[in-house]
């Protein structure tokens, strides 16, 4: 059986999937057609049901419950891992009219955008763009504010930008659960036995990667050529953890709370609420 598998070129994803896609572990007869794309492209493809297995942001998953179910392995959750709202000027979010400002976001279907809406429900002026272009958009005054994710958490200060609010920290304080950023979903049309096998293989792939860490493998390096090895490690250590190996009850509770917030912001009638979230 050959299945399409999509994830991003970011170090956390290539770290997770290296052993699986490069057959460093026994794939138990499964073959994967691997596609690397930015997360918002994967989100859009999720809405279209394009891939068999995919990395995705949770808002895209919540809108695709009729097509996909979430695996236990491969997700990105944690504490202190959320997106940041940044600006060229230093100020406090509570004395600046953020609702009236143009904000660059890394995609409408990203968890980053959902967390922005959670913190600032009246902020409606948003400009979606590739996550790696957001720092430049703020620096060039294309937008007044930006929501940054991934490795930009480690670079924005070097470029003279300021953190206005840690949107993940805001979520943690309000909800008292980890921040669910993204997960790995599989099509519901794939039989359950195969889905469970893939879930276990992803877990084995992560365990293999951790067993060889802090060595950064060539697969990660190849797809992260603009990053220093230090930033690659920061990225992996921030986004790959025990929740990536298995969501567990705490991880699932956090995702269910995010789903509740999503439904409170979106139109519930558009969501297939009767579907189960987890494999």
Asked if 59 and 118 sit in the same domain, the reply is: no
Both 12 and 144 in one domain: the answer is no
Q: Are residues 70 and 192 in the same domain?
A: yes
How much is the pLDDT for 94? 65
Task: Find out whether 15 and 229 touch, Cβ atoms under 8 Å.
Answer: no
Q: Report the C-alpha gap between 75 and 72 in whole angstroms.
A: 7
Say whether both 63 and 199 belong to one domain. Answer: yes
* Close Cβ partners of 264 (under 8 Å, ≥ 6 residues apart): none
Q: Give the domain CATH number at 185.
A: 3.40.190.10
* Element containing residue 160 per DSSP (H, E): none
Indicate the residue among 146, 175, 204 that finishes a domain: 175
For residue 163, what are its two tokens? Answer: 């953190």
Please list, in sequence order, all residues whose beta carbon lies within 8 angstroms of the beta carbon of residue 110, skipping any fewer than 6 positions away: 39, 40, 43, 57, 59, 60, 149
Quick one: 183 and 259 in the same domain? Answer: yes
Do the bridges between strand 2-7 and strand 31-36 make them parallel or antiparallel, or are there none, so unpaired? Answer: parallel
Residue 150: what pLDDT? 83
Catalytic residue among 150, 223, 235, 272: 150
Would you state the pLDDT for residue 226? 79
| Residue 275 covered by a domain | no
96 in Cβ contact with 144 (< 8 Å): no
Helices and strands, number each (H, E), in the chain: 11, 11
pLDDT value, residue 80: 87
Same domain (yes/no): 61, 190:
yes
| Residue 149 placed within a domain | yes
Tally of domains in the chain: 2
Provide the angle, in degrees to the nearest 10, between the axes of the packed helices 11-21 and 192-212: 110
Angle at 72 between CA 252 and CA 108, to 5 degrees: 70
Of the candidates 62, 40, 52, 4, the residue with the CA atom closest to the CA atom of residue 262: 62
- The crossing angle, in degrees rounded to 10, of helices 111-119 and 248-265 is 70
Q: Is residue 278 part of a domain?
A: no
Per-residue confidence (pLDDT) for residue 59, from 0 to 100: 95
Let me know whether 26 and 66 are in one domain: yes
Ranges of residues in the chain with a pLDDT under 70 are 93-95, 267-274
Task: Indicate whether 183 and 164 sit together in one domain.
Answer: no
At residue 97, the pLDDT reads 84
Look at residue 277 and tell me if it is in a domain: no
As a whole number of angstroms, the distance between CA 214 and CA 217 comes to 9
The pLDDT of residue 189? 97
Residue 208 lies in a domain: yes
From CA 123, how far away is CA 143, in angstroms rounded? 13
Sign of the alpha-carbon torsion through 252, 255, 259, 264: positive
150 is known as an active-site residue:
yes
Q: Say if CB 164 and CB 171 are below 8 A apart.
A: no
- For residues 67 and 107, membership in a common domain is answered with no
pLDDT at residue 271, rounded to an integer: 57
Whether residue 153 is found in the same domain as residue 201: no
Q: Are 116 and 179 contacting, i.e. CB atoms less than 8 angstroms apart?
A: no
**Residues 72 and 183 reside in one and the same domain:** yes
In DSSP terms, which residues pair with 186 in a beta bridge?
53, 69
pTM of the model: 0.92
Query: Considering the domain boundaries, does residue 90 fall inside one?
Result: yes
Structural domain includes residue 279:
no
- Say yes or no: 185 and 258 in one domain: yes
| End residue of a domain, out of 175, 201, 226 | 175
Q: Is residue 276 part of a domain?
A: no
pLDDT at position 81: 87
Which of 121, 140, 175 terminates a domain? The answer is 175
Range of the domain at 89: 84-175
Neighbouring residues of 238: CB distance < 8 A, sequence distance ≥ 6 = 12, 78, 80, 81, 153
Burial (CB count within 10 angstroms: exposed 0-12, middle 13-18, buried 19+), residue 176: exposed
């Amino acid at each position: 059986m050959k299945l399409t598998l999509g994830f991003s070129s970011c170090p956390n994803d290539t770290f997770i999937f290296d052993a699986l896609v490069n057959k460093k572990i026994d794939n138990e007869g499964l073959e994967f057609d691997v596609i690397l794309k930015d997360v918002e492209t994967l989100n859009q493809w999720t809405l279209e049901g394009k891939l068999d297995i995919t990395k995705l942001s949770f808002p895209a998953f919540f809108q695709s419950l009729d097509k996909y179910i979430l695996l236990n392995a491969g997700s990105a959750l944690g504490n202190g891992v959320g997106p940041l709202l940044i600006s060229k000027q230093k100020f406090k979010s509570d004395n600046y009219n953020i609702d009236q400002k143009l904000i660059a976001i890394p995609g409408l279907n990203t968890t980053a955008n959902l967390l922005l809406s959670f913190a600032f429900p009246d902020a409606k002026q948003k400009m979606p763009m590739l996550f790696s272009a957001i720092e430049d958009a703020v620096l060039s005054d294309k937008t007044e504010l930006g929501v940054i994710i991934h490795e930009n958490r480690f670079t924005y200060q070097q470029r003279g930008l300021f953190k206005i609010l840690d949107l993940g920290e805001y979520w943690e304080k309000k909800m008292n659960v980890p921040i669910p950023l993204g997960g790995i979903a599989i099509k519901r049309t794939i039989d359950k036995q195969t889905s469970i096998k893939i879930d276990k293989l992803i877990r084995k792939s992560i365990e293999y990667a951790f067993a060889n860490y802090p060595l950064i493998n060539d697969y990660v390096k190849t797809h992260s050529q603009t990053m220093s090895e230090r930033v690659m490690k920061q990225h992996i250590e921030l986004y790959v953890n025990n929740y990536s190996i298995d969501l567990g009850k705490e991880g699932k509770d956090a995702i269910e709370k995010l789903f509740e917030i999503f439904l409170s912001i979106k139109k519930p009638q558009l969501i297939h609420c009767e579907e189960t979230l987890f494999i």
